[in-house]
Amino acid sequence: MPSQDSGKAYHTSCTGLALETVNVHSSPSDITFFAACFCPFVQRVWVALEYLEIGYKVYEVDPYKKPAALLEVSPKGLVPGLKLESFSPPRGLNESTVILEYLEDLAANATNRSLLPPASDPYARALTRLQADHINRTFVPSFYRFLQSQDSEQQISAGKDFHAAIEGLVSNFERAENEGVHTALGLWREGGEIGWTDVMAGPWLFRSANVLKHYRAFSLPEGPKFQSYLKRLFEHPAFKATCSDEQLYLDSYERYAWNRPNTSQVANAINSGRGLP
């Protein structure tokens, strides 16, 4: 675990497999996807685009400079954003969960692929929504509180909270499993396909395995079932295609780990005790 802030800056372009995916999606399309290489909220949408097989063009931006093109589709200047080029004039969408809902509806009519349980099983869909609610309300905020905590006592407490948030995610999976609702399990079930909850939580689980490991000496739960789940998630083609090399994340999250002033709107919200923007 580093002993001091080296002043590394966040990256503005993908590397590794994610760069290869950017290059594949560099031609004009009905959807322009505004993305930042290090952002987990962006990765949610990106994995969905890949899995749902919806055409798109990647537009990598520096969200802290808030270019005009981004502000046209995302008034706060936050990524991800979509520009829907098929409308005249083009329309915009922002907020990762809203975009996921839009892509899910779009795929139902275009590619017949889905991240959600079938509409014929409303209870499975409800359980999936409960899983997602836990991720947004508890799991994601606790990740940032842990990473941004500075003194040892705060880090110990925040680390326990984050571990409990992971246990809560597993508990949600186990509930669906015990009730025989297999369509609400996604990759948690061996042989299952990537699902809504995997896409919602995956980017932060991935950063836990590199960023939190590096800056907070954090280890994800070692149970064989959980480790098997992580392997299926991280190795899934749609997820893997959106991942940059590890160094990009270590460099880009150093500012969070040392809680530099005005790191991001997310960091400021955590520091002030507000909900995420």
- Answer whether 16-110 and 122-272 agree in fold: no
Mean pLDDT of 106-111: 95
Residue 124 has pLDDT above 90, yes or no: yes
Which CATH code fits 122-272?
1.20.1050.10
pLDDT per position as a tens digit, 183-234: 999 999 999 999 999 999 999 999 999 999 999 999 999 999 999 999 999 9
What average pLDDT does this structure show over 71-79? Answer: 96
Q: What is the pLDDT of residue 88?
A: 97
pLDDT at residue 51 is higher than 90: yes
Q: Is 66 left (phi over 0), alpha (psi -120 to 50) or beta?
A: left
At 1 the pLDDT is: 79
Tell me the pTM.
0.98
Q: Which residue is it, tokens 């799991």? A: 139
Read off the pLDDT of each residue in 116-138 and give the average, rounded to a whole number. 98
What percentage of the chain exceeds 90 in pLDDT?
99
Average pLDDT of the chain to the nearest whole number: 97
- The reported pLDDT for the residue numbered 53 is 98
Class of domain 16-110: alpha beta
Per-residue pLDDT, 74: 97
Residue 110: which of 43, 191, 36, 29 has the closest Cα? 29
The domains of the chain are located at 16-110, 122-272
Read off the pLDDT of residues 154-183 as tens digits, 9 standing for 90 and up. 999 999 999 999 999 999 999 999 999 999
Model confidence band, residue 40 (pLDDT cutoffs 50, 70, 90)? very high
Q: Contacts from 267-275 at CB under 8 Å and sequence distance 24+?
A: 267/144, 267/148, 270/141, 270/144, 270/145, 270/148, 271/148, 275/141
E-assigned strands of the chain? 31-35, 57-60, 81-84, 91-94
